Structures are given as C-alpha cells and as structure tokens.
Amino acid sequence: MEKLRIISNNKNRDTITRTIRMSGQTYDKISSLAEQNNTSFNSVVNQILEYGLRNLE
C-alpha cells in the first residue's frame, strides 16, 4: 500500500459542501498536518478521504 503524502494547494473546483462530525483529537491532528504542509484543513481532509477510498480492500 502506498503511503499518504499531503500535497499543498490541492484545489478541486468540483466540490459539494457537507457537514461532518469528528473528535477534537482528530481535528487537532488534521489541523496540525494542514499547518505543517502549508495547505488548508479541507485539502488535508479530502486527501485523507481519497487515500482511504483508493486503498479499500
């Protein structure tokens, strides 16, 4: 399985707005990843979701 790599400025114009709930701990981890990689919180969330979907068994 390939490793997840966070890419800066991964913008996609085809978006849908949704509300999700997550734990504070998960929020903090994603927020930290976004800051470390100089990208948005939403970009990190989308990259994590896409990675998970590509690697489903």
Q: Could you tell me if 44 and 34 are in contact, meaning their C-beta atoms sit under 8 angstroms apart?
A: yes
Rg (alpha carbons) of the chain, rounded to whole number: 12
Does residue 44 lie within any of the structural domains? yes
Range of the domain at 48: 24-54
Please give the torsion angle defined by the CA atoms of residues 11, 15, 18 and 19, in that order, rounded to the nearest 10 degrees.
10
* 5, part of any domain: no
Q: Count of domains in the chain?
A: 1
Q: Taking Cα atoms as reference points, which of 16, 32, 34 lies closest to residue 24?
A: 32
> Residue 12 pLDDT > 70, yes or no?
no
Q: What's the pLDDT tens digit per position in 14-40?
A: 888 999 999 999 999 999 999 999 999
Given a contact cutoff of 8 angstroms between Cβ atoms, the answer to whether 56 and 19 are in contact is: no
> What is the reported pLDDT for 24?
98
